[in-house]
């Protein structure tokens, strides 16, 4: 995600009412530093955390970014398992313990809210883990996080680790016990719930379960498990506004380009669908026969058909507001013009169509290149050709080209028009809704020698959507190249 996209997601997480947003790793790059700083300055409500290793440089840099937050938290970590100590850190247990304590104390000198993570806790000797947890709490840690860093634990085992810490660490009641589970064995959410049952009161999780390798525990699964199984979890609760779950899921999917699988729990397109005849019959008679949750509880409306070509600006604006969008007047006008264009061609406009229109039209970066005109010719035996016109600050550019298919012809033609070295990494097409008149949504990822840039485009014509997505990704690349160049020039001048 770029900085603007991170801010957009952070604002939505605030609407979701999460307790803590871990906004980034400030020392890792200038971009991450600026993103954490911007989120700290802008987003109110949740605690804003920055991640840092157990080093002075990391902690100091984290505070530089976090100092603007209404509720800042420094989150420092170091590995504690013998395998990490031997092969990665090349340090003794005593040395790591000293580093952990020193890091917490330095972080505590900046802010009261300090989290410590014992990386690879699930593979750490339990006696040593108890020693570390006690020491960092004594040093001032207000949250102690126990990560299953490689997704190795199983629920019974992980719950027992938490119970052991609760029973054996004498000052454990002075800090919140937290868990951070990875999904390598598909057990991240199950391990997190087992930890809650054993006494953990913070879960680190992600929207749609995104994350390193197989991902992390999915927020939507944790929240809805707690909401649905109060008979098991008793008084355990979260302040998360579950009705914002679906919208948050869609936003994260859009900005990362990581689609949600159809059978994904809670937020997958099939999560509340019933195809088998016996299931359909049961649901028609009584929903609880095959539905343990109400689709509306995560923000899915029963009737998604909302607007048509005769709908006016007021109805359009009202529906966007109901969906949670807050647009500027300029963004609203742009989106409404596109809505009218789509509504003239497509009889029924669904919520998903509106979300695609917003994602496509409300750009968060300057448009160096704008798609003005495109003609594509293809036939069963012929060679696909494309003619493309784009506009820039210096005027119009027109080119034509050929390819092995329609999209390839368009992309090769665009490449002739833009003097921006890059390579195509990924190209994903999906239908926003059903039917032959559905909006097609294309996600494109391009890369240079340093980063990956994601572009999205939506249209009733999939080739047009492909072109829009490609140009948006190129615009991001140009914008961030320019930002880095300005930053480097500023450093040189200093």
Domain 370-486, what architecture? Answer: 2-Layer Sandwich (3.30)
Q: Taking the C-alpha atoms of 262, 265, 271 and 272 in order, what is their torsion angle to the nearest 10 degrees?
A: -170
Fold annotation for 3-256: TIM Barrel (3.20.20)
Using only C-alpha atoms, the chain has a radius of gyration, in whole angstroms, of 25
User: What are the tokens at 408?
Assistant: 């390839």
Q: Name the CA dihedral angle for 271, 293, 354, 305, rounded to a multiple of 10 degrees.
A: 100
**273-299 pLDDT tens trace:** 655 555 555 655 676 776 778 878 888
The per-residue pLDDT for range 236-276, each reduced to its tens digit, is: 999 999 999 998 998 898 888 888 888 899 988 777 765 55
β-bridge pairing 176-181 and 395-402:
unpaired
- SS3 of the chain: helix, strand, coil, percent, to 5: 50, 20, 30
Q: What per-residue confidence (pLDDT) applies to 493?
A: 54
Closest among 191, 239, 237, 196 to 217, alpha carbons compared: 191
Tokens of 448: 């240079």
Does the global pTM surpass 0.85? no
pLDDT of 91 over the 90 cut? yes
Query: 149 pLDDT exceeds 80?
Result: yes
Instruction: Name which of 325-334, 387-396, 406-415 the model is least confident about.
Output: 325-334
pLDDT greater than 50 at residue 406: yes
User: What is the Cα–Cα distance from 292 to 36, expressed in whole angstroms?
Assistant: 38
Cα distance between the two ends of the chain:
29
> 489: which residues sit within 8 A by CB, 6+ positions away?
none
What DSSP element (H or E) covers 345? helix 329-345
The domain spans of the chain are 3-256, 303-361, 370-486
Averaged over 219-247, what is the pLDDT? Answer: 96
Segment among 81-90, 213-222, 318-327 with least mean pLDDT:
318-327
Share of the chain above pLDDT 70, in %: 94
Distance CA 48, CA 46 (A): 6
273 CB neighbour count, 10 Å cutoff: 12
- The two beta strands, 143-148 and 176-181, are parallel
pLDDT for 100-132, tens place per residue?
999 999 999 999 999 999 999 999 999 999 999
Question: What share of the chain has pLDDT > 90, as a percent?
Answer: 65
């Amino acid at each position: 995600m770029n900085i603007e996209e991170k801010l957009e997601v952070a604002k939505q997480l605030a609407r979701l009412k999460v307790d803590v947003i871990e906004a980034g790793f400030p020392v890792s790059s200038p971009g991450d530093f600026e993103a954490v700083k911007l989120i700290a300055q802008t987003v109110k409500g949740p605690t804003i955390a920055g991640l840092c290793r157990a080093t002075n440089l990391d902690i100091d840099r984290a505070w530089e970014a976090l100092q603007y937050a209404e509720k800042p938290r420094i989150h420092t970590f170091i590995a504690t398992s013998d395998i990490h100590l031997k092969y990665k850190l090349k340090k003794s247990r005593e040395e790591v313990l000293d580093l952990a304590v020193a890091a917490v104390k330095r972080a505590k000198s900046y802010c009261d809210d300090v989290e410590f993570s014992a990386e690879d806790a699930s593979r750490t000797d339990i006696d040593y883990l108890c020693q570390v947890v006690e020491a960092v709490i004594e040093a001032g840690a207000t949250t102690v996080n126990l990560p299953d860093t490689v997704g190795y634990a199983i629920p019974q085992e992980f719950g027992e680790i938490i119970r052991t810490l609760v029973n054996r660490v004498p000052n454990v009641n002075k800090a919140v016990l937290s868990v951070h589970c990875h999904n390598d064995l598909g057990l991240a959410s199950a391990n997190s719930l087992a930890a809650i049952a054993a006494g953990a009161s913070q879960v680190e999780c992600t929207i749609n379960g995104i994350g390193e390798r197989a991902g992390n525990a999915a927020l939507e699964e944790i929240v809805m498990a707690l909401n649905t199984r109060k008979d098991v979890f008793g008084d355990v609760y979260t302040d998360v506004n579950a009705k914002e779950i679906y919208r948050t899921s869609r936003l994260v999917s859009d900005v990362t380009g990581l689609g949600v699988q159809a059978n994904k729990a809670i937020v997958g397109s099939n999560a509340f669908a019933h195809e088998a005849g016996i299931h359909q019959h049961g649901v028609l008679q009584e929903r609880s026969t095959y539905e343990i949750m109400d689709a509306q509880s995560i923000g899915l409306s029963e009737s998604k058909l909302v607007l048509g070509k005769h709908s006016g600006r007021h109805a359009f604006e009202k529906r966007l507001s109901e969906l949670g969008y807050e647009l500027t007047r300029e963004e609203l006008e742009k989106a409404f013009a596109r809505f009218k264009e789509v509504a003239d061609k497509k009889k029924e406009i669904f919520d998903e169509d509106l979300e695609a229109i917003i994602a496509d039209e409300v750009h968060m970066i300057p448009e160096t290149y704008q798609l003005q005109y495109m003609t594509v010719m293809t036939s069963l035996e012929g060679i696909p050709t494309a003619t493309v016109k784009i506009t820039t600050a210096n005027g119009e550019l027109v080119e034509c080209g050929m390819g092995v298919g329609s999209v390839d012809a368009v992309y090769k033609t665009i490449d002739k028009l833009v003097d921006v070295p890059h390579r195509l990494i990924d190209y994903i097409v999906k239908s926003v809704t059903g039917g032959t008149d559905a909006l097609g949504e294309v996600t494109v990822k391009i890369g240079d020698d340093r980063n990956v840039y994601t572009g999205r485009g939506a249209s009733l014509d999939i080739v047009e959507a492909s072109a829009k997505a490609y140009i948006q990704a190129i615009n991001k690349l140009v914008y961030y190249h320019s930002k880095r160049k300005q930053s480097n020039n500023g450093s040189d001048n200093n």
